[in-house]
Chain A
Amino acid sequence: GAVVSQHPSWVICKSGTSVKIECRSLDFQATTMFWYRQFPKQSLMLMATSNEGSKATYEQGVEKDKFLINHASLTLSTLTVTSAHPEDSSFYICSARAGTGDTEAFFGQGTRLTVV
């Protein structure tokens, strides 16, 4: 299947700093990328959906000014956690989809963020 590369796989940062997570589709053009967050022992929760060249659509309860999503090209989306706090510590996963509708989405490896 198609490959989605997410980087970094893990990061530790100090409270108050910002962290950027990259999601790249390596062998296809991703018209849509999804960002998910997973707290320990919980299901993945959709944070936002981004279409290339458009502003991201955030799910209810997700602060768009805190979780900045940029989908500037068909192969790259970034999630920046601004002014990170310990409660932002979580596992973040992106998925990318070419086309629309029923097109299959492929997942990145995930990024484990720990804010100290």
Chain B
Amino acid sequence: KNEVEQSPQNLTAQEGEFITINCSYSVGISALHWLQQHPGGGIVSLFMLSSGKKKHGRLIATINIQEKHSSLHITASHPRDSAVYICAVKGSNYQLIWGAGTKLIIKP
């Protein structure tokens, strides 16, 4: 079993839909990252969380430390949100453990 599990692996939705991507982990962490990887490969850091909730524009990230679970939400999704979204946790040695990613396609 992977230490970081993301679901779903693939998600296709219509423009405007509310999107939720989930991340569960099995190790103790000091922080959790949500990252966005564009088709060209470049990675953008969206959030770093250690507790609670963060919001940036149409993106919302939450984390429940007790349940070892985090969610990334996208409101009013748009085709430009199409990308791979990656959850990564920072373990006890401060190195990142990566999820497999969720490929999101938003259709116009």
Using a CB–CB distance below 8 Å, which chain A residues touch chain B? 1, 9, 34, 38, 42-46, 49, 91, 93, 100-102, 104-107, 109-110, 112
We find that the number of chain B residues with CB closer than 8 angstroms to chain A is 21
Q: Which residues of B contact A9 (CB under 8 A)?
A: 40
A106 to chain B: closest residue by CB = B45
Contacting pair A109 B94 (CB below 8 A): no
Given contacts A102-B31, A102-B50, contact A46 B96 (CB under 8 A): yes
Contact check, A102 vs B94: say whether CB atoms are below 8 A apart.
Answer: yes
* Contact B42–A105 (Cβ < 8 Å): no
B48–A43 CB distance below 8 A: no
List 6 additional A-B contacts (Cβ < 8 Å) besides A107-B43, A109-B42: A43-B101, A100-B94, A106-B45, A107-B35, A107-B44, A110-B43
A46 touches B41 (CB 8 A): no
Say how far A51's CB is from chain B's closest CB, in angstroms. 12
- From the candidates B42, B43, B45, B95, name the one contacting A49 in the complex (CB within 8 A): B95
Which of A93, A107, A112 has the most CB atoms of chain B within a 10 A radius of its CB?
A107
